[in-house]
A and B are shown apart, each in its own frame.
Chain A
Amino acid sequence: MTLHNIKLTVNGLPVEAAVDDRLTLADFLRHQLNLTGTHIGCEHGVCGACTILVDNVSARSCLMLAVQTDGLAVRTVEGLQATDGTLHPLQAAFRDNHGLQCGYCTPGMLMTLVEFLGENPQPSAADVREAISGNLCRCTGYQRIVESALDAAKRLNEQEP
């Protein structure tokens, strides 16, 4: 086993770390960087709880190795809130629309939707359902997550005239 030195940015901040060959990106974020907002629900790429953005596109962090992020930009749920504490429109929409119950799937849902709404400013409910179909939620039955996403789209559109 070797340690690999990697340099990356996480939520815009530079990070240097030494990581084991087989350390998954999810475990690296959670246990080496203490960014425990990224959750683990299956570790075989189905539940989507571990979804993050790598170079601005969504990825399952349980299916990547930490060492693979050398030189890349990683964004996690911890990076959504503005530095002044303002909630990201998606976060605010989830809060206002009861888009979460236990909150365990929520970070993965949020990160998936950050990418999706970036590309689809005016989605239909059906579009949202397809977009989050790679994220399992056991609590909500999805309906209020869909409503939250639609509300977030509205807020995002208002934000950028």
Chain B
Amino acid sequence: MKPPPFAYHSATSIPEAIQLLSKLENAKLLAGGQSLMAMLNLRYLHPENLVDINRIPELSGITIDQGRLRIGAMTRQQAIKASAEVKAAAPIFAETLAYVGHRQTRNRGTIGGSLCHLDPAAELPALALLHDAMVTVAGPRGERKIEMAAFIVDYMTTAVQADELVTLIEFPLWRAGHGYGFAEFARRHGDFAIAAVACLMESDSEGRMTRVAISVAGVAATAIRLTAAEAALIGKVAGPEAFAAAAACCADIAAVGDVHGSAEYRKKVAAVMLRRALTDAQSRMAKNG
């Protein structure tokens, strides 16, 4: 299990990375490498060129201003998990990242890498979708911004072109005191999810839900938003009854099965996770006032 031959290139700036990508045949970007390197060792991929973007400082960093959380594409998952700022503004990140791989893989793994790899069971694309994140992509034709919903094209396929790279992910933040919940079932700690559900919630003074976002990983071919369930919740009083109705929407997901669980099973687990995530969100919302 040794990687096949390729030529290694290291870029030190975004323009250099774009230039290399444009110039080189059959090139892959090497971000954190936590999926790509494994796939190379297994010889699932045979790129001719690898462009390493680990030495581009401007690709890393976390800032929060004007209600937006901006995370550089090469920011390590562990840095996001450990960030006190992020925890204060969007506590669902730390909670979710505890389920992402293990410490050693989070130390290297990046948010941009996870989004671009787009494993259907990965947690970070689901978080991005949950927040209606905006992904900035740079390429030879300049920069463009892609909404997360459009960024996800299909099973492990993104809207990023072969000569482009993701530079930044922007998350519009929810009002302080919003409720949040993340529930996941995986066979082992740190594994990709059988089903994972992330949700955010706001309500009015009577406990009626005014804003809800729900995303699901591990069930369909990509992370998805559960818009039907969201719509079913708006205007309802948060509680078991409303949540059960929302959970019923999981039955309609276009689920995909694999060795760890069939499509049917994943939908059932998703419904349970959804109920649990919503329940957490409600309780936290209440506490947060």
Contact = CB atoms under 8 A, between A and B. Distances in A.
Partners in one complex: yes
Contact of A64 (B6, B37, B188, B190): B37
Interface of A: 1-2, 4, 21-22, 24, 27, 43-45, 48, 51, 57-60, 62-65, 67-68, 112, 115-116, 130-131, 133-134
B5 A1 contact: yes
A65 B2 contact: no
A112 B104 contact: yes
Contact of B41 (A43, A48, A116): A43
B101 A134 contact: yes
Interface residues of B, number: 31
Contacts, number: 86
A24 B189 contact: no
A57 B82 CA distance: 14
B101 A43 contact: no
B210 interface: no
A38 to B, nearest CB: 13
Given A68-B52, A133-B189, A59 B37 contact: no
Contacts of A4: 8
A51 B52 contact: no
Contacts of B8: 2, 4, 21-22, 65, 67
A24 B41 CA distance: 9
A43 B1 contact: yes
B38 A22 contact: no
Contact of B108 (A59, A67, A112, A115): A59
B87 interface: no
A68 B31 CA distance: 11
Interface in B205-255: none
A22 B2 CA distance: 8
